Amino acid sequence: MRKQERADYIVEKLEELYPVLPVPLDHTDPYTLLIAVLLSAQCTDVRVNQVTPHLFKRANTPAKMLKLDVSEIEDIIRPCGLAPRKAKAIWILSDMLIKEHGGKVPNDMEALERLPGVGHKTASVVVSQAFGVPAFPVDTHIHRLAQLWGLTNGKNVVQTEKDCKKLFPEDKWNKLHLQIIYYGREYCQARFCKGIKCPICTHLYPRRKSPVDYSKS
């Protein structure tokens, strides 16, 4: 099976499994999504969704966030890990949104990536899920599965993103990003499948018998 054929099958199978699915992080607007994605770094979505109601009850806009001390933000988000760094980033980016963007979250990658604590993946998630701009955020699930499925031999998420964008139609990127994440969590966990057990892996590589090593980003 050629690489493009594998990609086409993946789109078909994931659409069958996940025709409709929610954004994993609870939010009400672009700002709360931005904060939730920032908090999700090295933290589970479940934990973030447990913490953000307490944070957003106190501050769900940049202006309200600036009324909190960084130490107050830090105390609230502590369960998400890396609290000192994340709290400082949240306060500073809120200040920047007010001073540079009229209190609104910008809808372009370059402006988002200038905000503290906002890397390429976070910016990609925000533009795709909040504004519908085509993007293909690559997290650890997607990076791993893309290698298992033979879509990339990239050693990092940057190359994996480039390779996936070439294989998948642009109008599928935003939904496909979420579909792959859900699939990785439900069917192809790192410890369980290793390229030889889940439905997609076994269909794409029916003769594969040995676990597949993949490079971590």
In the set 26, 45, 95, 139, the catalytic residue is 139
User: Is residue 121 flagged as an active site residue?
Assistant: yes
In the set 86, 121, 163, 194, the catalytic residue is 121
User: Is residue 171 flagged as an active site residue?
Assistant: no
Distance from C-alpha of 211 to C-alpha of 109, rounded to nearest angstrom: 37
Q: How far apart, in Å, are the Cα atoms of 120 and each of 23, 36, 42?
A: 18, 15, 15
Q: How far apart, in Å, are the Cα atoms of 131 and each of 156, 174, 178, 205?
A: 26, 10, 15, 36
Q: How far apart, in Å, are the Cα atoms of 100 and each of 31, 38, 113?
A: 15, 19, 14
Active site residues per annotation: 121, 139
